Structure 1
Amino acid sequence: MKVAVLGGSGLIGSVIVMELVKRGHNVTVMDLVPPNPLESDFVKVDLREVDNTASKLRTFDLVINSAQYYFNMEAMRASLKAGVNYMDLGGLFWMTRKQLELHKEFEKEGLLALVGMGAEPGVTNVIARKMREEYGIPREIHLRDGWRSTLDNVNWSVDTQLDEATMDAPIWDGEIKFFPPFSRQEEVEFSIGKIRTYLTIHSELATFPSSFPGTLKIDWMEGGTGFECIFLLGKIFGSGEVRGTKSRDLLKEAMREKGLIGYSGITPDEVEAAKVIFVYEEKKIEAEFVATPHGRFDGTQFVTGISPVLAMDAGLKGEGVLPPEKVITPDPFLEALKREGISLEFRETA
């Protein structure tokens, strides 16, 4: 398959490109800067230039967007203009809601836009669909994510993490209600140890209420090594300017100079675990997956990057703008995930 990876030079895009190339797909990275190492063709693209991007996408079978989520709408519109199916890694709730508004436009053109096909969202959504199919609609759904590392490096978009630390977080309680970030917390016993998780904004809340109708409560919490520091950095650098420069840009420049973004010359050791918890009147079902480092990528990077590739290989069917729980057949996808070394267990308690 001929695949364009938008943002393919980034922390997660690099995993996507590696896995696509390994499987023999014809891959082109489209980004502002070329990837390092260069494992595929490269075309310089600025996603803000929608018509120009669309002109470069027309010969492709699929677009996988791993660029900063702020540009999801531009990437979708370019794919729509080019007549190419689209996939991304998530829109942090508010952007996902905007993306869903393009449903009829994609449906009219007979195209699929699969939104939120990373790890969380992505794997969590597919697991939730499997649990619904096997056990029925639950009273409550709780999503919990945790990670452990001995390093201080940031393996994910700094902007996205600052957004999680500063934006109000949605909870489904019969309707969407918003609460301050980190205003609720919970100690969670993961397979990798006990981790304090915090309420933050996340994409699953944009689609779960309609995908799992009848569920009374849905929430998301996350935590792990360095996450409390992100909350503090969000208070200091999350918004505003310093002498005409965005405070976030100052933070990112300082982190780059200190070698704290990515793993240049360092072996990553971060392990990630995520739980999908279905609560019923008389029982609770938990599903937990654990992702460990793979080569130059840590667990979080690897599971996030390989998930859209496995989804593509499993076959994408549908039209319009749809979340993973409405597109991906669970068993083949989850079995493929396990073959890649990502463990998955289901547990039932009274």
Structure 2
Amino acid sequence: MSKVVIFGGAGGIGAVASKTVSATDDFDEIVIADLRGELAVDLASSLDHPNARGVSVDATSHESLVKAMSQATVVCNCIGPFYRFGEPILRAAIEAGVNYVDVCDDLDATERQLELDQAAKKSGICAVVGLGNSPGLANLLAKFGSDELLDECNSVDIMHIHGGEPEEGPAVIKHRIHAMVNDVPLYIDSKFETVRLLEESGQRYVEEVEFRDVGTYPVYPYPHPETITLPRYLKGLTRATNRGVVFPISYFNYTMEVVREGLAKLASSTPKSEYPIDEWVEKILSRREEFLAEAGIEGPKGCLKIVLVGKKDGEVHKFIFSVSSSADGAGAGTGIPAGLGAILLARGKISGKGVFPPEGVVSPLEALTLASELLPKLKFGGSSGSVDFPLHIEHILPGGQSEEIPLSF
């Protein structure tokens, strides 16, 4: 009997992960665990799975978490913000002896989770942290390019954009604020350079980027963990950056304005734990619909763009990966990879013991192949038929010519 528990399974990302794991017959039982028990029950009843059920869980209670994991094969954690919930839920999985995957996108939380490596090994579990979009799919595509397309990968620049989702919960805004008030490590010339998104140090790395299916927008340094994990696994890497933005840009600018004004009112010695985050979140969300309407945003879109530069046969090559959608945003882009990770763990395709970033233990080809198989069944973006895998790879040859790399899974 195989059982998966999706924590935060009734949320925007967790619901997608729940639908993804229900699209195969790998699990005999699917448990959607959420603080909002009624929503979890409703979602479970909507899944095409005979043994899906919803339960209420309190993520602030260690006992509640461990109890919900009882007899599980895999735990898939989608509860944010991860700087608060990432480490405690992983600790519960280690105690319960259950394999684990999450979508942690907070660098400081990832560092704390990676420190649990020995505890996870002792428990005999495999924990994959940050298997969402960025981090997650970004790590796997960088690994794929480094292993399959290049002899040596020298630089990885990760850029991401999303917006227009039906709603954004407080946890999403808290993560965004967290990114604006914390250090952002960029790996430049084989050493780490620390910047801040809202300060001059970070503004130096802002640039306009064209995103497939979305448009051209400025991207800002983000404290996502790829910049600290990729250098450990990609041979020859001397540069790793992560930059992102949310559209409409007026909404993102307003978020920065609220945070700047909020910080200006605080004493410099005020600890981050005492920042009035909830007040800032309420202020930001109160105007979200206004900004969406003014910009004419009618639905979600998103794009993950990764630029790899390295050497093949002694010559410099560039590969540009774009995973995009003109109909889906952060929920699908993050929840699908998490669900894929849970399935691969259940199948024994991820077999290391300890705590790993995606590029440390997940086969990019196996994950991409599984994604291409499941996307037609998931039918996101209102599709009623087959969905092509939305990955495009552009190859810039040493002479400057451009070609598209055909995909076959």
TM-score under structure 2 normalisation? Answer: 0.75
- Deviation string for 1:165-198 (max 9, x for gaps)? 2222110122322101142211112222222111
User: Relative to structure 1, is the Cα distance of residues 254 and 185 closer, same or farther in structure 2, using a 3 angstrom cutoff?
Assistant: closer
Q: How does 1:190-269 map to 2 (within 5 A)?
A: 190-192=211-213, 193-225=215-247, 226-237=251-262, 247-253=276-282, 269=299
Mapped contact 2:20–2:336 kept (Cα < 8 A): yes
* Structure 1 residue 239 displacement after superposition: 9.7
Mapped contact 2:207–2:218 kept (Cα < 8 A): yes
Which of the pair is proportionally richer in helix? 2
Residue 124 (str. 1) matches residue 128 (str. 2): no
Per the alignment, residue 88 of structure 1 pairs with: 102
User: Relative to structure 1, is the Cα distance of residues 35 and 126 closer, same or farther in structure 2, using a 3 angstrom cutoff?
Assistant: farther
User: Relative to structure 1, is the Cα distance of residues 152 and 254 closer, same or farther in structure 2, using a 3 angstrom cutoff?
Assistant: farther
* SS at structure 2 position matched to 1:3: strand
1: CA distance, partners of 2:211 / 2:287: 31
Runs of 5+ consecutive residues of structure 2 not aligned to the other structure: 45-52, 267-273, 376-386, 399-409
One-letter identity of the residue aligned with 1:218 = A
Per the alignment, residue 78 of structure 1 pairs with: 92
Mapped contact 1:338–1:344 kept (Cα < 8 A): no
* SS at structure 2 position matched to 1:132: helix
One-letter identity of the residue aligned with 1:48 = T
1: CA distance, partners of 2:71 / 2:263: 39
* Structure 1 residue 126 displacement after superposition: 0.9
Mapped contact 2:20–2:339 kept (Cα < 8 A): yes
Mapped contact 2:33–2:68 kept (Cα < 8 A): no
Q: 2:61 aligns with which of 46, 49, 54?
A: 49
User: Relative to structure 1, is the Cα distance of residues 247 and 147 closer, same or farther in structure 2, using a 3 angstrom cutoff?
Assistant: same
Q: 1:27 aligns with which of 30, 33, 36?
A: 30
Mapped contact 1:4–1:27 kept (Cα < 8 A): yes
2: CA distance, partners of 1:120 / 1:209: 16
Q: Which moved more, 1:177-186 or 1:113-122?
A: 177-186
User: Relative to structure 1, is the Cα distance of residues 259 and 187 closer, same or farther in structure 2, using a 3 angstrom cutoff?
Assistant: closer
Residue 325 (str. 1) matches residue 347 (str. 2): no
Q: 2:309 aligns with which of 262, 279, 285?
A: 279
- Deviation string for 1:99-131 (max 9, x for gaps)? 101111111222101000111111111111111
2: CA distance, partners of 1:142 / 1:287: 10
One-letter identity of the residue aligned with 1:56 = A
2: CA distance, partners of 1:256 / 1:188: 26
* SS at structure 1 position matched to 2:224: coil
2: CA distance, partners of 1:77 / 1:258: 37
* SS at structure 2 position matched to 1:157: helix
- Deviation string for 1:257-308 (max 9, x for gaps)? 7785xx9xxx962211112211126221111111343xxxx32211211112
One-letter identity of the residue aligned with 1:115 = V
Per the alignment, residue 8 of structure 1 pairs with: 9
Q: How does 1:107-118 map to 2 (within 5 A)?
A: 107-118=121-132
Mapped contact 2:21–2:340 kept (Cα < 8 A): no
* SS at structure 2 position matched to 1:42: strand
Percentage identity across paired residues of the two chains? 23
Per the alignment, residue 310 of structure 1 pairs with: 340
Equivalent pairs counted in the alignment come to 338
Q: How does 1:152-171 map to 2 (within 5 A)?
A: 153-154=167-168, 157-171=172-186
Structure showing greater radius of gyration is 2
- Deviation string for 1:198-222 (max 9, x for gaps)? 1121121231111114311111111
1: CA distance, partners of 2:130 / 2:158: 15
User: How well do the aligned residues superpose, as a CA RMSD in angstroms?
Assistant: 2.8
Mapped contact 1:239–1:248 kept (Cα < 8 A): no
2: CA distance, partners of 1:113 / 1:255: 34
Q: Which moved more, 1:330-339 or 1:113-122?
A: 330-339
One-letter identity of the residue aligned with 2:193 = K
Q: 2:151 aligns with which of 117, 133, 136?
A: 136
